[in-house]
A = this chain, B = another copy of it.
Amino acid sequence: MTTTGAGPAAAPERPTVPEMHPQRWGDPARATALPEATAGLVELAFGHHETPAVADPRPPAPRLDPGLLDDLRAVVGEAHVLCDDATRRLRTRGKSTPDLLRARAGDLSDAPDAVVRPGDHDEVQAVLDWAVEHRVALVPFGGGTSVTGGLVARRDGLAGVVSLDLVRMKRLVALDPVSRTATLEPGLRGPEAEALLAAEGFTLGHFPQSFEFASIGGFAATRSSGQSSAGYGRFDAMVVGLTAATPRGRLDLGSSPANAAGPDLRQLLLGSEGALGVVTAVTVRVRPVPEEKAYEGWHWPSFEAGQTAMRTLAQAGQLPTVLRLSDEHETVLNLARPDAIGADGSEGADGDGAPGGGCLMITGYEGTPAAVARRRDEVTEVLTALGGRRLGTDPGEAWTHGRFDAPYLRDSMLDAGVLVETMETATFWSRVPALYAAVRAALVASLGEQAIVLCHVSHVYETGCSLYFTVAAPAGDAPLERWLAAKSAASDAMLDQGATITHHHAVGTDHKPWLAREVGPVGVELLRALKAAADPTGVLNPGVLVP
């Protein structure tokens, strides 16, 4: 195997990933208020509310016997067992709207009793063994970006809760340029992994909206899917091998790209959300850093027409690297941003560049100049034949510019008393119209006619696609209850339509009841059996995933 061990030497190249704000998404330095014009529009649409945040909330005192931590200190070192309020606060829950609302209200009741930071697989294994011995819940922590309650361990029957922070495990363990595989440690955040790979000429190509904070371990544990999934595939499709620490010992999988050696156990650990084991290394397929990137916009007369175009590309095997389609509602909102559609419509069929209603599609092409040109020509031919109107590169550039910013806006909107949250699902192509209508209807029925429901398709397959909804509604006096009711109604609608409860946000604690419906009682039995086998004492992220 042609392998270069990169290791700590590469550390100076790593971008710095800041700690997230304990009550908001992202880099505290990038938190902003709504622009005045937007604030005015919001007040016009929803009236004036406020969802104030308690200043400097404190987590409850640790409930774990401090004597138990001494053994842990012997394993990972004094400096890596932390019990201070500030550290514990930063490891409390994820970033769903319920998480944010609870944190704003000063409720940090789910804070871990301690934060432990192992440095390698063996230290993770030792922490697991300690947790099993003392019946302490362990919550693996990567980027803290969960939006489905994946970081809320159940405490019942356990001595306490410890956050297993993977922040020290950030090595590029191996790179095989011939096979184009890289072995990465789980604590690497998206930008850190990309920087290490870029130094070797490669990219993972995985860019979910959480990219700036989310971790390699989290991508694997939640079956993440990124904005370039049309070209690079879902994260679970990139994984060819993985190592996990489990209470039963070490699990190493990945003899080959694919095989017939029984059930694919890699596909059990992928999506297991820390409930079956802690992923300590992931071997992923990588690709050369693209020499060229080009993004552009297309206009479609309707959401349905745009979907037909996406389906045609997917079924012809002619997908661009990025392929997204906003529904009419989301398109209108995008267009409210002056940079969303370029003034230069010279590439458009009718030369005026104006969208004239309808739907905006973004197509992106990455690769060698020849590959970009070839695929772009193919796609352009197909989309033009289907009635699409090319809008030039400005909408594409506008999208790439703001692609990781939406979660910051969510907090600014919450400041102004507006709930903004997303939810996503997937189904087969023929069922998309009914699913779209049912989820929209459920959200509007729950939140009222005032609610704004936007949708886009951002992940496509030969047989179907995802639907990603963004919802905005007045927070009202009981925003948490209001949102949970809406979420529940929309989730019921998804399952009623035979669709999945989540295309790429995982199960966590929030989606468990619907997962049980999705896989049925026998599926639940299989999950329970796996949990009991891998984690007999139930210390691994208890409460998530397994119904």
Residues of chain A touching chain B, judged by Cβ–Cβ distance below 8 Å, are: 1-2, 176, 178-181, 222-225, 234, 236-237, 240, 246, 248-253, 255-265, 267-273, 276, 285, 287, 311, 315-317, 371, 374, 378, 425-431, 459, 461-465, 498-507, 511, 515, 518-523, 525-530, 532-534, 545
A-B contacts, 22 of them at CB < 8 A, read A176-B428, A179-B430, A223-B259, A223-B264, A251-B523, A257-B428, A257-B463, A259-B500, A260-B502, A261-B271, A261-B506, A261-B507, A261-B518, A261-B519, A262-B271, A262-B515, A264-B264, A265-B526, A265-B527, A526-B533, A526-B534, A530-B533
B519 & A262 in contact (Cβ 8 Å cutoff):
yes
A248 to B524, CA, bound (A): 11
A316 close to B371 (CB less than 8 A): yes
- The one of B262, B521, B528 in contact with A527, judged by C-beta atoms closer than 8 angstroms, is B262
**Could you say which of A222, A223, A261, A459 has the most chain B C-beta atoms within 10 Å of its C-beta?**
A261
A426 contact from B257, B461, B503, Cβ within 8 A: B257
Name A263's closest neighbour in chain B (CB-CB).
B268
A503: contacting residue among B253, B258, B317, CB under 8 A:
B258
- How close is A177's CB to chain B, nearest CB, in angstroms? 8
Select which of B264, B273, B507, B526 is within 8 A of A271 by beta carbon. B264
Report the minimum CB–CB distance from A241 to chain B (whole Å).
Answer: 9
Q: Which residues from chain B contact A499 at a C-beta distance below 8 Å?
A: 255-256
Assess A462 versus B285: contact at CB under 8 Å? Given A262-B271, A502-B261, A519-B261: yes
Could you tell me if A428 and B179 are in contact, using CB atoms closer than 8 angstroms?
yes
B503:A179 contact, CB within 8 angstroms = no
Per CB-CB distance, the 4 closest pairs between chain A and chain B, nearest first, are A529-B533, A267-B267, A257-B461, A256-B426
Copies in the complex: 2
Partner pick for A1 among B180, B181, B431, CB 8 A cutoff: B431
Which chain B residues lie closer than 8 Å to A2 at the CB level? 430
For the A-B complex with A256-B464, A259-B503 known, give 4 more contacts whose Cβ atoms are closer than 8 Å.
A248-B525, A255-B500, A261-B515, A263-B270
Query: Do residues A507 and B260 form an inter-chain contact, with CB atoms below 8 A?
Result: yes
Residue of B nearest to A520 (CB): B252
A341 to B: closest C-beta gap in Å:
30
Q: Which residue of the partner chain B has the closest CB to A519?
A: B265
Q: A256-B464, A500-B256, A534-B526 known; A511 and B261 CB under 8 Å?
A: yes
A105 to B356, CA, bound (A): 79
Contact between A250 and B461 (Cβ–Cβ < 8 Å)? no
A313 to chain B, nearest CB (A): 13
Asked if B507 and A262 sit within 8 Å, CB to CB, the answer is: yes
The answer on a CB contact under 8 Å between B271 and A268 is no
Q: Which residues of B sit under 8 angstroms from A505, Cβ to Cβ?
A: 260
Closest residue on chain B to residue A231 by CB atoms? B317
Contacts of A521 in B (CB 8 A): 248-249
A522 and B250 contact, CB distance less than 8 A: yes
- A511: chain B residues at CB < 8 Å are 261
Q: Which of A253, A503, A520, A522 has the most CB of B within 10 A?
A: A522
Task: Report whether B273 and A262 are in contact in the complex, using a CB–CB cutoff of 8 Å.
Answer: yes
Nearest CB in chain B to that of A255: its residue: B500
C-alpha spacing A429/B503, complex, angstroms: 31
Give the residue of B249, B271, B506, B530 whose beta carbon is less than 8 angstroms from that of A530. B530
Report A302 CB to chain B, min CB distance, Å. Answer: 16
A193 to chain B, nearest CB (A): 17
Residue pair A181, B260 in contact (C-beta under 8 Å): no
Chain B residues positioned under 8 Å from A371 (CB to CB): 316-317
Specify which chain B residues have a CB less than 8 angstroms from the CB of A251 in the assembled complex: 520, 522-523, 526
- Provide the residues of chain B in CB contact with A431, threshold 8 Å: 1, 179
Distance (whole angstroms) from the CB of A289 to the closest CB of chain B: 14
- From the candidates B240, B259, B261, B501, name the one contacting A463 in the complex (CB within 8 A): B240
* Contact status B259-A464, CB under 8 Å: no
Q: Is the CB of A253 within 8 A of B523?
A: yes
Asked if B530 and A532 make an inter-chain contact with CB atoms under 8 angstroms apart, the answer reads no
